Amino acid sequence: MLLKKSAFRPAMVASLAAMSLCLCSGSFASEQEQAGHEGQHDHAAHQHDAHAHHKHMMQQKGFVRSEHNYAIPDVLLKDQNGKSVSLPEILTDSDRPVMLNFIFTTCTTICPLLSASFSQFQEALGDEADEVRMVSISIDPEYDTPEKLRDYAKRFHAGDNWVFYTGNLPDIVAVQKAFDVYRGDKMNHPPVSFMRARPDAPWIRIEGFASIEDLMHEYHNETARPQPGDS
């Protein structure tokens, strides 16, 4: 496993935070609806800040890059249009590069930052965006219906190449465990993005908040890697 630690850019997190607020302006559900939902799923939320763990992670410096080979579980997920698709088909049905992250729509801390980062990445790709498959999987499937995911996708101006998925809770947990992001409670999930250049390439795990420059650097490096058999 290869590890690489980036220099921290405090302004980058602030910039992503500002962008996420801008993208989401006027589109988030009411505070009352969010509070009611979080109250159902996190019964102790009224006793403490339910996002305290996320806020702590946002203060951590740098990000860690590593390479992994993950076993993709054969589970069915449902996209924001209600279409059921197997996860192996989602991730390996073509030679297109894949970007992957895990979010939930009522998260108000790291998820908007991760989604804003994906939105910036999509924009930076320009005409090349259609050649990259971008995948966001909800870790709160009991609340995040396809309709909720459609609304969330609109907030971040997701193009056709960026698809959001939900599913049955046991299947979603299995996917999180496969990518080593399951932490038991959605409020504890880490800020991680994944990238893979093609089905036979390793997954690049980026843990922390990478800048758009970092993401584009990784993307160009990985897609330029020689394929097995290339002379």
Beta carbons within 8 Å of 38's beta carbon, 6+ residues apart: 45, 50, 106
Q: Say whether 104 sits in a helix, a strand or coil.
A: coil
Indicate the domain borders of the chain.
3-223
Residue 143, pLDDT score = 98
With CA atoms as reference, report the closest residue to 115 among 68, 56, 162: 162
* pTM assigned to the model: 0.78
Helices (H) and strands (E) in the chain, counts: 8, 9
Task: Say which DSSP state 91 is in.
Answer: H
d(CA 125, CA 97): 12
- Structural element, H or E, at residue 98: strand 98-103
Mean pLDDT for each consecutive 10-residue tract of the chain (231 residues)?
46 48 45 44 44 53 90 97 97 92 96 96 95 97 98 97 98 98 94 96 96 95 80 52
Strand 98-103 relative to strand 133-138, pairing: parallel
pLDDT for the residue 39: 45
Pairing of strands 133-138, 162-166: parallel
- Nearest CA to 137 among 90, 184, 97? 90
Q: Given this model, what pLDDT does residue 8 score? A: 41
Distance, in Å, from the CA atom of 93 to the CA atom of 140, rounded to the nearest integer, reads 25
Domain 3-223 - what CATH class?
alpha beta
- DSSP of 165-211: EE--HHHHHHHHHHTT---SSGGG---EEEEESSTTSPEEEEEE---
Q: Which residues pair with 84 in a beta bridge?
A: 78
